[in-house]
């Protein structure tokens, strides 16, 4: 059961809403990632770091995301090659790769939201930024 009430303020945000997390100096992925995950890292990390979404504090969380993307791609490839049903003894059963694809898709969706990688999350980021700009000008959007 989750806690009731509003979410706590994020760690790394000061009283003025500024991010206090350290900038990501190197975009090197962790050494434990496989080549497919590293390829996803190099495709996405530079633009996320440039926008300030990916910092040194986020490296391990982002590594979970890119690993899930790589594992999902492998599972989908197996499903495409072998089909959704595979022969086992004298009957057909659901391809076990379907469960891997489903599990990794859930991880991807959850972690992608943390980095603003879905359209809905990008819209939230833009809306929050737009409200801040209006607050700086002293304009009340509801007046």
For the stretch 24-56, pLDDT in tens is: 466 789 999 999 999 999 999 998 988 888 888
For residue 71, tell me if it sits in a domain. Answer: yes
Residue 15 lies in a domain: no
Give the residue numbers spanning the domain of 61: 35-123
Model confidence over 79-138: pLDDT tens digits? 999 999 999 888 999 999 999 999 999 999 999 998 989 888 888 766 555 445 445 555
Q: Which of 94, 93, 99, 92 is nearest to 75 (CA)?
A: 99
How big is the CA angle at 47 (ends 51 and 63), to the nearest 5 degrees? 105
Other residues' Cβ atoms within 10 Å of the Cβ of residue 67 = 24
119 domain-assigned: yes
Measure the CA–CA gap between 83 and 94, rounded to whole angstroms: 9
Residue 17 falls within a domain, yes or no?
no
Residue-level pLDDT at 140: 47
Check: CB of residue 56 under 8 Å from CB of residue 23: yes
Note whether residue 79 is domain-resident: yes
pLDDT for 51: 83
Q: Is residue 9 a part of any domain in this protein? A: no
DSSP 38-107: HHHHHHHHHHHHHTTSSBGGGHHHHHHHHHHHHHHHHHHHHHHHH-SEEEETTEEEE-THHHHHHHHHHH
More confident residue, 76 or 22: 76
What domain count does the chain have?
1
Residue 80 lies in a domain: yes
- pLDDT for the residue numbered 66: 97
């Amino acid at each position: 059961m989750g806690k009731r009430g509003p979410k706590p303020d994020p760690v790394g945000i000061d009283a003025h809403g500024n991010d206090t997390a350290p900038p990501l100096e190197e975009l090197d992925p962790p050494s434990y990632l496989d080549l497919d995950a590293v390829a996803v890292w190099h495709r996405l990390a530079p633009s996320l770091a440039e926008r300030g979404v990916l910092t040194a504090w986020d490296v391990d969380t982002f590594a979970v995301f890119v690993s899930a993307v790589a594992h999902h791609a492998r599972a989908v490839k197996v499903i495409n090659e072998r089909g959704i049903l595979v022969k086992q003894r004298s009957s057909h059963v659901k391809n076990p790769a379907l469960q891997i694809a489903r599990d990794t898709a859930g991880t991807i969706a959850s972690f992608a939201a943390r980095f603003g990688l879905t359209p809905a999350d990008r819209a939230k980021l833009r809306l929050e930024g737009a409200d801040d700009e209006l607050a700086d000008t002293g304009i009340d959007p509801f007046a």
